[in-house]
Amino acid sequence: MFASLLLFVAASVSVKAAPFVKRGMDQVISNCNHDFAYTWDDGPYTAHNDITNAFNQVNGKTTYFMNGDNWSCIYDQANVQAIRASFDAGHQIASHTWSHAHLTQLSEAQIDVEIQRLDEAFLKIVGVVPKFLRPPYGDIDERTASYIQQRHGKTIVLWSDDSGDSTGGSTQQSINFYNAFANENPKRPHMTLSHETSPSGYNAMYAGTVGTLSRGGVRLVTVAQCLDTNPYLVVQQRSERDSTWYCGGTWNPPTTTTTRTTSTSTSTRTSTSTSSTPAPTCVQTYTSKAGDTCASIEGQFGLQSGSILAANSFLNCQDIWVNTPICIPPGGSTTTRTTTTPTSTSTSGPAPTCVSTYTAVAGDTCAKIEYNYELPSGSILAANSFLNCNDIWAWTPICIPPGGTGCTLKISTVAGDNTCSAIASRYGITVAQLQAWNPSWLNCNDVWTNTPLCVRH
Ligand SMILES: [Zn+2]
């Protein structure tokens, strides 16, 4: 009784979909049930037709997790033709968000745009709304996953094996990576990750990975096939190009949205017009640490008393669970987490202090985390001796030791992040801070997409 009441309140006054529930990310899929899904992210891009042809030649299938406006515009004529050819040949079309966004850092309204603008493009180009979505960077949390599933009906998938082509892996490493699956005996299910936009990813394909797998007895199927489910939420006639086929500019969700919200949630929203203030947007999402209270978080971000609970109505302010994603509302001072006190060390040894705690995502390795935080090789394992560096489970809290540049959050810029002021406002920092935390070559008037930048110290 009380729980359902709480849920009603949370759904009505907050941007949160439901109270945070401490459980595994069981609604996020990261492997096939059977066979092999060789998947491609970040397209459509220049090698798209050749990738499709490589799979066609061996009667195999692949899956494309595509963006609307990332490395190229999905509505470009060459892209439209390439996507239609892939779809017509039976390859799976799936969502990777409109602009390759960090979904956990967006408000629900922003998530809606990232998903719906791309759904609309796929509907126009091939006549489908994809059921599958892969979050860029594998960046997903409980709140975001629940929202995307409930609001948009998507099935969220990550991957079981990363070729490493987007994180510095060479063509030869990608070739070796796929050869190993061709030689695997007995064969197990896999869902692999390569990138249409990565030279080592597509050059490995040109070098024959698809044929090698096929000859090795690997059955190449789509993600939907290896999970025995339907790839699409909607299938209808495709349409002809008109003035709505554009990237850039502004876009608003259609008024006649095909939303999948349940009637109960609609009725709760309308029945709670007595709630005082509209739901706040979040300038960022903070992952709670042991000992956090609403007051301590408000102190960290320079926020007014009461503002954390107002933005996260599901919280018990005196008993916040570790790793709870918390909406940080606007209005704070710009000094975010610079004065974090070191966590106390155990008495059993000279454990290092942590400048911050990072929550692992699928695909993380010690080397990748060290790269992101600009730490010396070996330092993550030294500070987290329990880790298996090559098999880090998602959601593992990881101590970030001192010794790096002091950066506690690195991002990769997305479309729209063209200026320092745009990026600074998105992360609630100043332009001066952004410049101070990043290399001197950063041109604040012309920031490129996919530039790694530090946005928090
Ligand atoms: Zn991506």
Asked whether the predicted pLDDT for residue 370 surpasses 60, the reply is yes
Confidence of residue 262 (pLDDT cuts 50, 70, 90): very low
Residue 83 lies in a domain: yes
Q: How many angstroms separate the first and last alpha carbons of the chain?
A: 43
Decide: 68 and 83 in contact? Cβ < 8 Å.
Answer: no
Asked whether the predicted pLDDT for residue 354 surpasses 50, the reply is yes
Residue 149's CATH number: 3.20.20.370
Q: What is residue 27's predicted lDDT score, i.e. its pLDDT?
A: 78
Residue 179 lies in a domain: yes
Q: What is residue 322's predicted lDDT score, i.e. its pLDDT?
A: 65
| Å from CA of 97 to ligand 1 middle | 9
Query: What are the contacts of 169-176 at 24+ separation with CB within 8 A?
Result: 169/200, 170/200, 171/199, 171/200, 171/203, 171/204, 171/207, 173/200, 174/200, 174/201, 174/203, 174/204, 174/209, 175/204, 175/207, 175/209
| Å from CA of 135 to ligand 1 middle | 7
Half-sphere exposure (Cβ direction) of 149: Cα atoms closer than 13 Å: 16
Q: What is the three-class DSSP state of 21?
A: coil
| Å from CA of 101 to ligand 1 middle | 9
DSSP codes of every residue in 238-299: -----TT---SS-----SS------HHHHHHHHHTTT-SSPPPP-SEEEE--TT--HHHHHH
Residue 452 lies in a domain: yes
Q: What is residue 14's predicted lDDT score, i.e. its pLDDT?
A: 31
Q: What is residue 43's predicted lDDT score, i.e. its pLDDT?
A: 97
Residues 48 and 196 in one domain: yes
Which of 88, 75, 76, 90 minimizes the C-alpha distance to 122?
75
Residues 110 and 186 in one domain: yes
Asked whether the predicted pLDDT for residue 314 surpasses 50, the reply is yes
Confidence of residue 313 (pLDDT cuts 50, 70, 90): low
Domain limit, last residue, from 194, 213, 235? 235
Confidence of residue 373 (pLDDT cuts 50, 70, 90): confident
Residues 57 and 188 in one domain: yes
Residues 415 and 311 in one domain: no
| Å from CA of 75 to ligand 1 middle | 18
Can you tell me the distance from the alpha carbon of 142 to that of 150, in angstroms, rounded to the nearest whole number? 12
| Å from CA of 456 to ligand 1 middle | 22
Which of 142, 452, 455 minimizes the C-alpha distance to 327?
142
Model pLDDT for residues 97-129, shown as the tens digit of each residue: 999 999 999 999 999 999 999 999 999 999 999
Half-sphere exposure (Cβ direction) of 342: Cα atoms closer than 13 Å: 9
Confidence of residue 450 (pLDDT cuts 50, 70, 90): low
| Å from CA of 387 to ligand 1 middle | 26
Which of 321, 391, 392, 383 minimizes the C-alpha distance to 357?
383
Which residue bears the tokens 């968000």? Answer: 97
| Å from CA of 197 to ligand 1 middle | 9
| Å from CA of 87 to ligand 1 middle | 20
Residues 76 and 192 in one domain: yes
Residue 207 lies in a domain: yes
Q: Which of 61-65, 159-163, 417-421 has the lowest mean pLDDT?
A: 417-421
Residues 107 and 46 in one domain: yes
| Å from CA of 443 to ligand 1 middle | 24
| Å from CA of 136 to ligand 1 middle | 4
Asked whether the predicted pLDDT for residue 247 surpasses 80, the reply is yes
| Å from CA of 286 to ligand 1 middle | 22
Q: What is the pairing mode between strands 232-235 and 92-95?
A: unpaired
Domain limit, last residue, from 201, 235, 269? 235
The number of angstroms, rounded, from the C-alpha of 284 to the middle of its chain's C-alpha atoms is 14
Q: Which of 62-66, 240-244, 396-400 has the lowest mean pLDDT?
A: 396-400
| Å from CA of 293 to ligand 1 middle | 34
| Å from CA of 321 to ligand 1 middle | 30
| Å from CA of 96 to ligand 1 middle | 7
| Å from CA of 139 to ligand 1 middle | 10
| Å from CA of 41 to ligand 1 middle | 5
| Å from CA of 137 to ligand 1 middle | 6
| Å from CA of 157 to ligand 1 middle | 12
Decide: 410 and 453 in contact? Cβ < 8 Å.
Answer: yes
Residues 70 and 207 in one domain: yes
Residue 392 lies in a domain: no
- Please state, in angstroms and as integers, the Cα–Cα distance from residue 45 to each residue in 52, 128, 246, following that order: 12, 20, 17
407/171: higher pLDDT:
171
Half-sphere exposure (Cβ direction) of 2: Cα atoms closer than 13 Å: 1
Model pLDDT for residues 378-434, shown as the tens digit of each residue: 889 888 887 888 888 776 778 888 877 777 777 777 777 889 999 998 888 999 989
345/430: higher pLDDT:
430
Q: What is the three-class DSSP state of 110?
A: helix
Asked whether the predicted pLDDT for residue 67 surpasses 90, the reply is yes
| Å from CA of 22 to ligand 1 middle | 27
Domain limit, last residue, from 311, 328, 345? 328
| Å from CA of 193 to ligand 1 middle | 10
DSSP codes of every residue in 350-397: -PPP-SEEEE--TT--HHHHHHHHTPPTTHHHHH-TT--TTSPPTT-E
Structure tokens, 143: 């709140």
Q: What is residue 255's predicted lDDT score, i.e. its pLDDT?
A: 61
252/279: higher pLDDT:
252
Model pLDDT for residues 75-91, shown as the tens digit of each residue: 999 999 999 999 999 99
* DSSP 8-state symbol, 122: H
| Å from CA of 270 to ligand 1 middle | 37
Q: What mean pLDDT is reported for the chain?
A: 81
Residues 205 and 123 in one domain: yes
Residue 435's CATH number: 3.10.350.10
**Percent of the chain's residues with pLDDT above 70:** 81
Q: Is the peptide bond before 44 cis (omega within 30 degrees of 0)?
A: yes
| Å from CA of 283 to ligand 1 middle | 22
Q: What is residue 1's predicted lDDT score, i.e. its pLDDT?
A: 37
| Å from CA of 52 to ligand 1 middle | 19
| Å from CA of 182 to ligand 1 middle | 25
Q: What is the three-class DSSP state of 125?
A: helix
Asked whether the predicted pLDDT for residue 8 surpasses 60, the reply is no
| Å from CA of 233 to ligand 1 middle | 22
Q: Which of 136-140, 154-158, 375-379, 412-416 has the lowest mean pLDDT?
A: 412-416
Can you tell me the distance from the alpha carbon of 120 to that of 234, in angstroms, rounded to the nearest whole number? 11
Decide: 411 and 452 in contact? Cβ < 8 Å.
Answer: yes
| Å from CA of 265 to ligand 1 middle | 32
Decide: 98 and 118 in contact? Cβ < 8 Å.
Answer: yes
* Structural domain for 309, as ranges: 284-328
Residues 178 and 289 in one domain: no
Structure tokens, 140: 């997903």
Residues 117 and 215 in one domain: yes
| Å from CA of 130 to ligand 1 middle | 16
Residues 320 and 203 in one domain: no
Q: What is residue 259's predicted lDDT score, i.e. its pLDDT?
A: 39
Residue 271 lies in a domain: no
| Å from CA of 40 to ligand 1 middle | 9
Average pLDDT over residues 122-137: 96
Residue 102 lies in a domain: yes
| Å from CA of 176 to ligand 1 middle | 22
Model pLDDT for residues 191-238, shown as the tens digit of each residue: 999 999 999 999 999 999 999 999 999 999 999 999 988 899 988 889
| Å from CA of 231 to ligand 1 middle | 19
Q: What is the CA radius of gyration of the chain?
A: 22
Residues 113 and 227 in one domain: yes
Q: What is residue 98's predicted lDDT score, i.e. its pLDDT?
A: 98
Which residue bears the tokens 């479309």? Answer: 415
Structure tokens, 126: 């091939």
Structure tokens, 346: 């155990």
Q: In 10 A of CB 24, how many CB atoms?
A: 10
Domain count, the chain: 3
| Å from CA of 16 to ligand 1 middle | 25
Residue 144 lies in a domain: yes
